[in-house]
């Protein structure tokens, strides 16, 4: 296991930076929103304390970077995402979620491409996988626009096992 330190990086429209406990109010805007949490592995946060606990757990990240996505135009924290090295399969997997009123502007794709690029250049990452619930077609588009191609059907469960989703898994191998 390696401890990863999440750096601040950027794209045209976003700053990707580490999240801190001071972000709890903003983060709860989406972690506490059923529309956003629906297909995520975390159960929707019942209250802001759950979000605070999650933010505290980010102090030490093993084999994983997690970024908050800040919109440059107004400095607002609009979502988060991360990329993780899976030692079991020697692949990198990534994910993302945005506050509901910020969907549909290409932000998830823009952030994901940058996360991939970062792991590629700094960690020598070459093989990437990502997965989405079959009905979550918007996430499928993000994954495709990042260059991954459909590999197989699978399934995944929420952390609390409250739901299991049929999923589509995608893969990309870079030179």
Ligand X SMILES: CC(C)(COP(=O)(O)OP(=O)(O)OC[C@H]1O[C@@H](n2cnc3c(N)ncnc32)[C@H](O)[C@@H]1OP(=O)(O)O)[C@@H](O)C(=O)NCCC(=O)NCCS
* Contacts with ligand X, residue ranges (CB under 6 A): 36, 39-40, 95-98, 103-109, 132, 136-139, 141-142
7 or 106: CB nearest ligand X: 106
Nearest to 100 by CA among 16, 38, 9, 12: 38
What is the closest distance, in whole angstroms, from the C-beta atom of residue 124 to ligand X in the complex?
A: 25
Residue number, 37 or 48, with CB nearest to ligand X: 37
- Helical residues (DSSP H) of the chain, grouped into ranges: 24-31, 34-37, 48-57, 107-123, 137-145
Q: Cβ 41 to ligand X, closest distance in Å?
A: 8
Question: Residue 72 is inside which H or E element, if any?
Answer: none
What is Dmax (Cα atoms) for the chain? 44
Instruction: Tell me how far, at minimum, the Cβ of 156 lies from ligand X, in Å.
Output: 9
Q: Which is nearer to ligand X, 141 or 166 (CB)?
A: 141
Burial of 96-122, coded b for 16+ CB within 10 Å and e otherwise, reads bbbbeebbeeebbbbbbbbbbebbeee
CB of residue 40 vs ligand X: minimum separation in angstroms?
6
Nearer residue to ligand X within complex by CB, 59 or 160:
160
Instruction: Identify which of residues 1 and 136 has a Cβ nearer to ligand X in the complex.
Output: 136
- Minimum distance from residue 125 beta carbon to ligand X (Å): 19
Alpha-carbon distance of 29 to 170, in angstroms, equals: 29
CB proximity list for 5: less than 8 A, separation 6 or greater: none
């Amino acid at each position: 296991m390696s401890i990863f330190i999440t750096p601040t990086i950027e794209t045209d429209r976003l700053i990707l930076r580490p999240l801190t406990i001071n972000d709890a109010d903003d983060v709860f805007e989406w972690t506490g929103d059923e529309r956003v949490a629906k297909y995520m592995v975390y159960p929707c946060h019942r209250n802001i304390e759950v979000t605070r606990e999650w933010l505290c757990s980010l102090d030490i990240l093993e084999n994983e970077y997690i970024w908050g996505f800040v919109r440059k135009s107004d400095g607002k924290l609009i979502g988060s995402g991360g990329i993780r090295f899976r030692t079991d399969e020697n692949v990198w997997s990534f994910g993302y979620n945005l506050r509901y009123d910020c969907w549909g502007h290409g932000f998830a794709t823009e952030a994901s491409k940058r996360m991939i690029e970062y792991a590629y250049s700094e960690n020598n990452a070459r093989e990437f996988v990502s997965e989405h619930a079959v009905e979550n077609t918007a996430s499928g588009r993000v994954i495709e626009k990042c260059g991954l191609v459909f590999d197989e059907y699978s399934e995944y469960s929420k952390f609390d096992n409250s739901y299991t989703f049929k999923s589509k898994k995608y893969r990309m191998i870079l030179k």
